[in-house]
Amino acid sequence: MSILVTGATGTVGSQVVERLNAKGLGVKALTRNENTPRLRGVHYVVGDLNKPKTLHPHLEHVEGLFILTQSEQTEEMFIANKEIINMAKSAGVRKI
């Protein structure tokens, strides 16, 4: 199973990535910074939750999406998250 994790470099997201990777699952870790320190076995991809279209190519061949966002949600973030979920569904992501 391949899983895309958003917020993958944050406090919680980095733990999610580490645990999924330890279980041998294919992990794509979304980061805004391509110079992010990397874990062996994790595929890092560049994108921005505030620009949902940047996630589109990373949803291909992904079976799961783990969405981590900021706890303080603006209206724009809420709309962006809905767009990301709709893109994931259209891409055939089975578990969100």
pLDDT tens digits, 36-95: 778 889 999 999 988 999 999 999 999 999 998 877 888 898 899 999 999 999 999 999
Q: Answer whether 79's CB lies under 8 Å from 67's CB.
A: no
Report pTM: 0.89
Q: What is the pLDDT of residue 13?
A: 92
pLDDT of residue 3: 97
Cα atoms in the 13 Å half-sphere on the side-chain side of 96: 14
Q: What confidence score (pLDDT) does residue 70 get?
A: 77
pLDDT score of 71: 75
State the pLDDT confidence band at 29, using cuts at 50, 70 and 90: very high
How far is the C-alpha of 30 from the C-alpha of 6, rounded, in Å?
A: 5
Q: Is the pLDDT of residue 22 over 80?
A: yes
